[in-house]
Structure 1
Amino acid sequence: MHGTLDLPALRRAADLVLASFDEADRSVELVWSTGARVRRQPLFGEPFDEELSLDPAHVRLERLNGGAPLLKVHDMGTLDAVIGSVVPGTARIENGRGLARVRFSDRAEVEPILADIRAGHLRAVSIGYQVHRFEISRPASGPELWRAVDWTPFEISAVPVGADLAAGFRSAEPLSPCVVVRPGAPSPATRTSMDETQTKPATPDVATAPAPDVARATATPPTPDTDALVARAQAAERERVGTIHDLAGRLGLERGFAEDLVRRGTGLDEARRLILDKVADASDRTRIFPQVTVPLGGRDERLLRREAVSTALLHRYSPTLFPLTDQAREYRGLSLLELAREFLTQAGVAVRGLSRDEIATRALHSTSDFPEVLSAVTAKTLRQAYEVYPRTFTPFCRQVLATDFKAMHRVQIGEAPQLLKVNEGGEFQRGTIGESKESYRIETYGRVVAITRQVLINDDLDAFTRIPAMYGTAIATLESDVVWGILTANAAMADGKALFHADHKNLAGTAAPPTVTAIGDARAAMAKQTGLDRKTVLNIRPSFLIVPAALELTAEQLVAQNLTPAKTSDIVPASIRTLTPIAEPRLDAASATAWYLAANPAQIDTLEYAYLEGQQGAYIETRNGFDVDGVEIKCRLDFGAKAIDWRGLYKNAGA
């Protein structure tokens, strides 16, 4: 049985052979694999052993021999991460080991890395490889064995420790076979003396001639049983080395500790005991911070400090909107970079000697509270700008919440059936309520704002205060565009007719400016609107006079309460003065003369707008940047709107 899996690029540790360093061409020999068996722990399923076949027929060396890159810690995202390359044609397999020579770049930024390699501080390298074919078998005892019989190494990286904790480090020294001598076979000492004897030139001295038994042992080739014992000994040694490095890597121990256990020939049981002792010693150490967190008034000091710094930054943005508190005064004059240094120090990070760039980078990617402060400041400025933007549609529209993104069906409920007289002993007659359906759904709108390390270095406060505020205004503007666009577009309702239509009896037959007479005619038309049975009079009373910005002054004069007319004919009835004027400049783009009346949504449906439940208005979400080097802030709006009933609205095209 066989199948196909989609596997990512894998990594294994390897070693530099420092004795092979060549100063002339800045190159060094390295062992990129010994193929030893290592234990893999998948996210799901049981652990298995992985073994890389170093049969030359099973390894594709074209990419290494084509000058594969030498990287910094497997960083394949930037050109600066390339610190050298494999010398073309040097990748090879010898004596069960993968070897290659790499040459380092002449760039100045590579010199510190090269200096550490010369001094022996950097010894570890790791390979990235892709497996094309596994052969899986189940040994008599132990987990499954996944043997890679077709695989490609494609890059080599200089790393402080092995890149993959599940892969043990490989020693730069080749494994030596252990010969097991059976009775009647020559001992290791005899075999060594035989080899030395064979390397000396032959002399007629009889005393140096080998004994007959030794000569026969030398001439006799190893038996198949001996080959099997040697293979098993090699496999056991590979398992010992791989297991020691695997345990040490998983528990976060130093590479040198595992190498010392390997060199001393420590058995697996003893190695496990020593590794556990090492971990226990490390856990007993106490990490000391320069500050102690003490709850103040029931609140954690970290939270109080975070709020104080946020307030200080918001005060710099707008002193009138965000007054300075007593706790924030000590942070008032600090720059962004100084605040980043402060938070790193509070988190126990040593910052002495760090450059501005290093401080900014660590502040954005450490466990300090600084990214939280930046996110809070950005969110508050965006929310503040969103809330203060004038949304003139809210008085005459109804807000609802949507539980999902499916289409919402709104029933336009008709009038209740008229009550009929019930005679003594008679039955109550059943009636029906007419209905008409309107449907719409909410849509998602959003953008991402990024706070980069350049912002911190440049102390650019506007980048995460004014820019997010502009996004807050843009979100509120979008809501107004959607709602007012319903009136100006005059789209069709569920009956196939436009929102304002003569058949709906909500469109003036004669265009006129908003005068007492014209408004009186509109009020009368709304009052005479009938139910869906076309019989029941609804007596709808308008509450809002909606005009474009060009007619705002006219509307205000009509409803003014403190004007005394010069003559009786100019008196504005009290019923008109109770109207609330709403001026909206978006209406001017469609018509600078058209005006509208709208009923209170508590009396009858007019326009309806909806947010996703639990996320009313602008929703802010933050994370440490992945596409950018900094903090990303996502602004999202889930919003929709629709005209539900035409009977609560009236339009006059105006003169």
Structure 2
Amino acid sequence: MNEQNEFLEITAGAEGKRPTVSGMAYSGGKMRLPGWKFPVVVDLAGMTIPDTVPLLADHNNSTASRVGVISAKVENNQLVISGEIVAEGDLASGIVAQGKAGADWQLSIGADVQDAELVKGKRTVNGMDLEGTFYHVIKSTLREVSVVAVGADSTTKMTVSAKFNLKGEVESMNENEKKVETAAQENASVQAAATVPATVDTSAEVAAQAARSERERVVKIKAICNGEFDKIEAQAIEEGWSPEATTEKVLAAFRTKQPVTAVNISVKKNDGPNQKTLEAAMCLRAGIDENTVVKDYGEQAVEMAWDDRDMSIRALMGECLRLEGMDVPRRFDNQAIQAAFSTVSLPGILSNVANKKLLQAYEAQPIIATKLCTTGDLNDFKEADRFRLTDMGDLLPVAADGEIKEGGLIEESAKNQIDTFAKKFCLTRKMIINDDLGAFLKVPVAMGNRAARLVDQLFFSRLLANPAQADGKALFSAAHKNLLTGATSALSADSLKKAIELYLDQTDADGQPIAVEPRYLVVPTALKHLAIELTRGATLVMSGGTDNVVRPALNVLADENLQVVSSPYLANSAYTGASSTGWYLFGQPGTVDTFEIGYLKGRRTPTVERGDLDFNVLGMWFRVFFDVGVREQDHRGIVKANGAA
């Protein structure tokens, strides 16, 4: 992006030295840019400035337009530059020559944008409090600075004319101007010589002198015009212009022939969409929430992608081929499909969009295990020891001699191990030809749902199996004092009170209470409503019996703040140990260890990756994999009731 300055100074070098240029390239305020919906502010604190920067004419990226080299720095929240005009071509000569003739110039920066954000409120940038709405260019890289024509910019209020301080002759003056100046000097010499009194004053000599002067005037006019300004030449000869008058006319005409530069700012953009905007467009087409797309790709990319959100798969392939400089085949055949999949951008776009659809489905699926279990990170797929420290011994009174007794910590260990779960799917030739992106994305959506259910499947299969622990006893057992059995364990007010009592009586390694309250009542779906009635009702109505016991109407269980969690896995016959009567009490994860969900190096969601092209399949393979494992950690903090004899 480019922005005009408020001050430009060009100093023509003395003999043997190059002209210099200095000035303010950007004042730090708002700018109106072609292709941007709102004004733009470049954050100078986030601008990367190389040691040297090319000085161009009118942002023209060509060798001929490179007129100098400058250095840039930020001073008082403004970008200032200084350097030299090193070229000797027409453009460089014209810049200095027009400055000498009174032309006004300004500077303009050219920068690449790495990160931009739409600001709708107030924000301080470059030391100024700016009101939205505007684009805040947070990160950019200065690529070049250009000399441009003067122009008013009402947004940034940069209307100060350029200032020139020309000293001596300019070495880089082009050939036309040299001829103009030389002819003018020669003519002045002739006129000076003509003022010297002649020793012989005859009419013949006067006539001869006049003829010579006229011939010299015509010769000089032709030299000044040099065959480039025929109309000026003819008019000057016919109307008797002096060489000086002709020089002024030629210089004025010469200035009008120079390229007129664009005022204000020009934004460097690709002619077509880039990979970022294409990916954003495909996300919008796939139904990814717009706020999520804006967060991932930025407001500007989404704005540019909005018109392409209905882009077909064929059109996407064509754009990816263009992005990588490849020819787009006229015929959409197998060769075109293979060429598109050989690019880097197309498989990357499709896998990223598929990954977002999978994560969207994964996060939308409720996972019971994450409520009841802690999480941990494992570095590999080997069975890992999960150690925790347990304090031993209570605080003791300090003896008269001031000695403090030693306490201690003991390590208790459990195990966890992760495994990889995966599947693959394909974007087929048929899907591509039918432009059926929806059919392609149904697979990662289904796999996202499956991945979420996988965590619960691993958890409940382990919970119901009641595996043996390091001490050789089952997870739920009388030895661990966390199991209710018999007919009286069926879910009821009385059995729930007994289970809570059993839970609260759990002790640590040194025989002291763990002092943790139960938080979750986990039941099969058949017991869900009974569990809600027991834990949320204000009163309990007791039926009369033979003993006709009178009880208070207050429901004390409602004060336990138990959250009911029901799951169909508990009674599913596909799982060993399933029961429609069994129920559980769990503590708050993090307060007490119960079960742990292990992930590989912190990756807590499944991943989509593209595979290699398969010669036997007309299409592209993708794979979904999830590294996860679930293991019990401690029998304390869990209580089970069989619910039946």
Q: TM-score, normalised on structure 2?
A: 0.51
Match of 1:648 in 2: 637
CA distance in 2, matches of 1:461, 1:318: 17
Match for residue 509 of structure 1 among 459, 464, 485: 485
Tell me the residue number matched to 1:458: 434
Deviation per CA, 1:589-641: give whole Å up to 9, x if none: 21111110011123221111110114222122224424644333222211111
* Alignment correspondent of 1:447: 423
Q: Aligned partners of 1:305 and 1:434: how far apart in 2?
A: 56
Secondary structure at the counterpart of residue 394 of structure 2: coil
Task: Please state if 1:560 is matched with 2:536.
Answer: yes
1:486-565 counterparts in 2 under 5 A? 486-511=462-487, 512-533=489-510, 535-560=511-536, 563=538
Cross-structure match for 1:471: 447
Residue of structure 1 equivalent to 2:582: 594
Q: Which of the residues 382, 399, 410 maps onto 1:406?
A: 382
What per-residue deviation string (whole Å, max 9, x for no partner) do you get for residues 130-178 of structure 1? xxxxxxxxxxxxxxxxxxxxxxxxxxxxxxxxxxxxxxxxxxxxxxxxx
The Cα of 1:456 is off from its aligned counterpart by 0.9
Amino acid aligned to 2:633: I
Distance in 1 of aligned mates of 2:325 and 2:280: 20
- After TM superposition, give the deviation of residue 420 of structure 1 in Å: 2.5
Give the distance between the partners of 1:597 and 1:500, measured in 2 at CA. 12
What is residue 302 of structure 1 aligned with on the other side?
Answer: 274
**Partner of residue 338, structure 1:** 315
Partner of 2:283: 311
Deviation at 1:354, TM superposition (A): 1.8
1:586 is paired with a residue of what secondary structure?
helix
Shift of 1:492: 0.6
Question: Partner letter of residue 343 of structure 2?
Answer: S
- Post-superposition Cα deviations, 1:340-370, rounded to whole Å, max 9, x if no partner, equal 2343345443335323333322211235x32
1:630-654 per-position Cα deviation (integer Å, ceiling 9, x unaligned): 3332222111111111110001111
**Residues 531/345 of structure 1: CA separation in 2 closer, same or farther (3 Å cut):** closer
Residue 361 in 1 paired to residue 338 in 2?
yes
How far the C-alpha of 1:434 sits from its partner, in A, is 4.1
Tell me the SS of whatever aligns to 1:447: strand
Q: Secondary structure at the match of 1:491?
A: coil
Q: Distance in 2 between matches of 1:320 and 1:631?
A: 29
2:621 to 632, 646, 650: 632
Q: Which amino acid aligns with 1:305?
A: T
Superposed CA deviations along residues 171-195 of structure 1, whole A, max 9, x for unmatched, are xxxxxxxxxxxxxxxxxxxxxxxxx
Q: Which residue of 2 aligns with 1:213?
A: none
CA distance in 2, matches of 1:492, 1:525: 21
- Count matched residues: 358
Distance (Å, rounded) in 1 between the aligned partners of 2:267 and 2:609: 28
For 1:582, the equivalent position in structure 2 comes to 565
* Counterparts in 2 of 1:348 and 1:429: CA distance versus 1, 3 Å: closer
Alignment of 1:161-240 (within 5 A): none
Q: Determine helix, strand or coil for the equivalent of 1:349.
A: coil
Corresponding residue to 1:397 among 368, 373, 376: 373
Task: Indicate how the Cα distance of structure 1 residues 444 and 585 shifts in structure 2: closer, same or farther if over 3 A, else same.
Answer: same
> What is the match of residue 120 of structure 1?
none
Partner of 1:572: 555
Is the Cα contact below 8 Å between 1:375 and 1:622 reproduced in 2? yes
2-structure distance, mates of 1:598, 1:430: 34
Aligned to 2:94: none
Q: Which amino acid aligns with 2:328?
A: V
TM-superposed deviation, 1:385: 1.3
SS in 2 for 1:411: strand
Task: Look up the match of 1:483.
Answer: 459
Q: Contact between 1:442 and 1:639, CA under 8 Å: does it hold in 2?
A: yes
* CA apart distance, 1:537: 2.4
Identity %: 30
CA distance 1:651–1:566, shift in 2 (3 Å): closer
Query: Residues 500 and 506 of structure 1 are in contact (CA less than 8 Å); yes or no, is this contact kept in structure 2?
Result: yes
Higher mean C-alpha deviation, range 416-425 or range 476-485: 416-425
For the structure 1 residues 626 and 293, does the alpha-carbon distance in structure 2 shift closer, same or farther, using more than 3 Å as the test? farther
Could you tell me how far apart the structure 2 residues matched to 1:560 and 1:335 are? 53
Correspondence 1:607-622 to 2 at 5 A = 607-622=595-610
The 5 Å alignment of 1:123-138 reads: none
Q: 1:418 aligns with which of 382, 391, 394?
A: 394
Contact 1:492 1:498 in 2 (8 A): yes
State the distance in 2 between where 1:352 and 1:395 align: 53
Report deviation, 1:435.
4.1
Counterpart-to-counterpart distance in 1, 2:530 and 2:517: 21
Instruction: Give the whole-Å Cα distance in 2 for the aligned partners of 1:433 and 1:487.
Output: 29
Residue 650 and residue 564 in structure 1: after superposition, are their counterparts in 2 closer, same or farther (change >3 A)? closer
Contact 1:412 1:645 in 2 (8 A): no
CA distance in 2, matches of 1:301, 1:322: 16
- The aligned residue for residue 377 of structure 1 is 353
* Equivalent residues of 1:415, 1:536 under 8 A apart: no
Unmatched segments (≥5 aa) in structure 1: 1-291
Please give the residue correspondences for 1:90-101 in structure 2 after superposition, counting only pairs within 5 Å: none
Distance 1:608 1:330 in 2: 46
Counterpart residue number, 1:350: 327
Q: Specify the code of the residue in structure 1 equivalent to 2:286.
A: L
Unmatched tracts of structure 2, length 5 or more: 1-265, 295-300, 543-550, 573-577
* Residues 377 and 464 in structure 1, CA contact (< 8 A), matched pair in contact too: no
Q: 1:549 to 1:293 in 2, by over 3 A?
A: farther
SS at structure 2 position matched to 1:645 = coil
Query: What amino acid is aligned across from residue 370 of structure 1 in structure 2?
Result: L
Structure 2 CA distance for partners of 1:472 and 1:595, relative to 1, 3 Å: same
Following TM superposition, by how much is the alpha carbon of 1:573 offset from its aligned partner in structure 2, in angstroms? 1.4
- Output the TM-score relative to the length of structure 1: 0.50
Q: Give the secondary-structure state (helix, strand or coil) at the position aligned to 2:316.
A: helix
Question: Cα gap change, 1:342/1:418 in structure 2, threshold over 3 Å: closer, same or farther?
Answer: closer
* Match in the other structure for 2:248: none
In structure 1, what is the Cα distance between the partners aligned to 2:554 and 2:291?
44
The answer to whether the Cα contact below 8 Å between 2:497 and 2:557 also exists between their aligned partners in 1 is no
- CA-based RMSD of the aligned residues comes to 3.2
Give the counterpart letter for 1:529 in structure 2: Q
Q: 1:352 to 1:415 in 2, by over 3 A?
A: closer
2:23 match = none
Amino acid at match of 1:580: Q
- Whichever residue aligns with residue 414 of structure 2, its letter is E
Q: Does 1:436 align with 2:412?
A: yes
- How much does 1:402 deviate? 1.2
Distance apart, 1:468 and its partner CA:
1.2
Given that 2:320 and 2:343 are in contact with CA atoms closer than 8 Å, whether structure 1 keeps it comes out as no
C-alpha change, 1:411 and 1:624, in structure 2 (3 Å) is closer
Give me the whole-angstrom Cα distance separating, in 1, the residues matched to 2:291 and 2:530: 34
